[in-house]
Every structure is written in C-alpha cells, then in structure tokens.
Amino acid sequence: MEISVSRQELLRELTATQSVVERKTTIPILSNFLIEAADDKLIITGTDLDQSMKTSCPAKVKKPGACTIPARKLYDYIKLLGDGDISIKLLENHWVQIRAGRSNTKMVGMARANFPQVPEFPESSVTKIPTSSLKNLISKTIFAISNEESRYTLNGALLVFKAESLTMVATDGHRLAHIEKSGESLSNISGEKKTLIPRKALAELQSLLANSDEEYLEFADDDQTLFFRIGHRTLTSRKLTGQFPNYEAVMPRDNNKFVVVRSEDLNASIQRVAQFADERSGAIKIRIEQNELKISSSSTDSGESEDVIETPYNFDAIVVGFNSAYLLDFLKATGNAGEVRLEFKDAQSAGQMRPEDGADDYKYRYIIMPMRI
C-alpha cells in the first residue's frame, strides 16, 4: 500500500474516528485504526467491538492495500505535522512509513487479518431522520440516562418512530426526560418502531451531528446492530437488549397545581440555594404559596439559604423536595431561556416541568420524583 493524502482532510477524519477506539484494551488490535486504500480514497475504521466508526477521505492511491496503525499515536502525530500532503507507505513486517515535508517516521502496525470484521450498512429499509430534529432530541434527553451499569436497559435512550413523529425518552429511575417531535414524514415506518440506543452511541452521534452540515441521517438496523450514516461517515452500535420500562405509566395525569417562572431566575436561585444543600443528596425544598415560590436548603455542615421568586399562583400551598442537580439539568437543556412551567399534584407525587413557550412541533416534558426532606 502506498498513498498520498492531505494532512487537513486526514486529520478531520481521524478526529471523527478516534473517540470510538478504546484507550485501554486487553486486545491490542482494537487500539489500531484500519486504513484501507483503493479507488482514490482512504477508508479509516475504528472499533471497540461494541461500536465502530467508518469514514473516508480523498487520496492519491499509488498502490492499493490495507494496514493497521496505532490510533492514538497516529492521531497525535498527524496533529503535530504542518499542513500539506502526507505520504503513507506499508513496509515489511506491518511497519508503516509516514512522510511529510522533512519529517520521516516509521510506526509499528499489526496484521490487517487480525482486525475484527465491522458490520456493513444494510441498504434495505433505511429511514431518513432530519439531523436538526435528532440533535434536539438527544440534547434534551441524554443527561437523564442512568450511569448504573446494573440497570442495563436504562443505559440508553428509547427512540420511538411513527410515520409522522419521533419521540425520545430517557430515565434513570429518579427522573425521566420525554420529547416528541411531530410533523415528520419518515420513510419505511408503518405503525410504531422502538429502538434502544446506548448512551455511548448517543454521545458519539451527538458529536457527529455537531460536526456535520448534512440535512439527513440514514438509520437502519438488523438483529444485533444499529447503523447511523451521516454523509460519508457510518457509526454502528451493538443493540441494547431487554425491555425499556413502561414510561407512559409514570407520566403524571392530574398535576393540577402549576406555577410559571422565568428559567433564568429559577436557575440562579437554585444554584445559590444548592450551595447549602446536603452534599450527598443535593436536596432543596420548594414551597409555593400565594404568588411566591420559595426555594430553601439547609445542612448541618454548611448552613442554610432561602431565595424567593414572586410569581402568580392561586392554588393550595404545596411544599415538595427535589434533587437540585436534576432541576438544573433540565434548565440547562432548555437553554435557560424563556419561561418554564412546574406542575404538581402533592408532595408525594412526581413533579413535571416543561417549557412554557416551547416550539409547537416539539413537546418536551421532564418528570422528576420528589425527595423526603
């Protein structure tokens, strides 16, 4: 194999792929990129067996072929080179020579045959998803995914396809984020299709979407694998098995007391008061009574704090405790802009938060379990 490639284009694709590669792995080949050259392009693949990324860039291919190169080393080295063309040549014993300007480096690779087979994108039953919708769905739910490895089915977000809507739901058992985007026209979807996407794949998808100006993402799946293709990049992820909880059962139905506050005011108040909450639980108390919302906290170690926000409220007084971090996560996801509506039934039932002036085609709800305080 012998090729010449632009440093800028190579670096862009290595950047997109390197986050998939395992830093610390017991299987040495997984620390490598697979580099394949043919038909005037260079194909780069990285995998950790759970997920893989495949991308490409134009190259002058003098001699087609393939090699594997330590991913982190290659990425760090290419970053330090000046702009211009780089030549990459496969030598004997899987060594790879990299030349750029006056720099000449040889890296120790491994046999191409050892690199695991990466699943190929199935061209049948592909669904096109608008990238702007998916971006919004992920950013509004990813923070609510559980970090507990033991709660396997909560380690991802549920994506629900219907012919004219997309819904994403995530929960860690203490809070639940639910967003629905209506007005879609999705191909190859009849009835309802549910897909559980692992947190790691969602995070990867988020950075792919952030660095792409494609209008649509192509989604497909088979029995074991999820496939996401954005332009010339394809992300695959192993499916999460198991049943996502019945989230519709926990959606509050009769939260008939509500208060509307400016996101910015609520965010600032919670942040101030949370400084004095119990460090372990982060619990703050919300008391709503005639036209005012009081947020307070106290702990034996640090003291106590109270903030008052004036706002219209004409229902019975209510006192309820919440984890301050969970409230702040929601406000951050909404961009701390506009107003939010807090809806309650009583001190023991789940509270619901949603943007008061949200976009018509997005329905965003955040359900949060109360704490005893």
CATH topology agreement for domains 2-114 and 252-368: yes
Residue 113, class by beta-carbon neighbours within 10 Å (0-12 exposed, 13-18 middle, 19+ buried)? Answer: exposed
Token code pair at residue 91: 């030598």
Place 352 in a pLDDT band, splitting at 50, 70 and 90. very high
Q: Does the predicted TM-score (pTM) go above 0.85?
A: yes
Chain segment 120-150, per-residue pLDDT in tens: 999 888 999 999 999 999 999 999 999 887 7
Residue 34, class by beta-carbon neighbours within 10 Å (0-12 exposed, 13-18 middle, 19+ buried)? Answer: buried
Q: Which amino acid is at 271?
A: Q
- Provide mean pLDDT across the span 43-50: 96
Chain segment 295-348, per-residue pLDDT in tens: 999 999 999 999 999 999 999 999 999 999 999 999 999 998 899 999 999 999
- How do the domains of the chain map onto residue ranges? 2-114, 127-175+185-245, 252-368
- Provide mean pLDDT across the span 212-216: 94
Nearest partner of 20 among 197, 178, 204, judged by Cα: 204
Residue 362, class by beta-carbon neighbours within 10 Å (0-12 exposed, 13-18 middle, 19+ buried)? Answer: middle
Q: Are 318 and 340 in contact (CB under 8 A)?
A: no
Q: What confidence score (pLDDT) does residue 24 get?
A: 83
Mean pLDDT of the chain: 94
> Which CATH number does the domain 2-114 belong to among 3.10.150.10, 3.40.640.10, 1.20.200.10, 3.40.50.2300?
3.10.150.10
> What gap in Å lies between CA 340 and CA 259, rounded to an integer?
8
Q: How far is CA 372 from CA 8, 90, 141, 255, 273, in A?
A: 55, 64, 25, 19, 17
Query: Topology of 252-368 in CATH?
Result: DNA Polymerase III; Chain A, domain 2 (3.10.150)
Angle at 129 between CA 127 and CA 131, to 5 degrees: 150
Q: What confidence score (pLDDT) does residue 275 get?
A: 96
Q: What confidence score (pLDDT) does residue 97 get?
A: 97
- Provide mean pLDDT across the span 157-164: 93
Which residue is listed with tokens 């509270």? Answer: 351
Percent of residues, the chain, with pLDDT higher than 70:
100
| Parallel, antiparallel or unpaired: strands 41-47 and 51-58 | antiparallel
Q: What confidence score (pLDDT) does residue 344 get?
A: 96
Percent of residues, the chain, with pLDDT higher than 90:
89
Chain segment 84-116, per-residue pLDDT in tens: 999 999 999 999 999 999 999 999 999 999 999
Other CB atoms within a 10 A radius of the CB of residue 153 amount to 15
On the question of pLDDT at 205 being above 80, the answer is yes
As a CATH number, domain 127-175+185-245 is 3.10.150.10
Q: What confidence score (pLDDT) does residue 309 get?
A: 97
Chain segment 216-242, per-residue pLDDT in tens: 999 999 999 999 999 999 999 999 888
Q: Are 46 and 17 in contact (CB under 8 A)?
A: yes
On the question of pLDDT at 5 being above 80, the answer is yes
On the question of pLDDT at 366 being above 90, the answer is yes
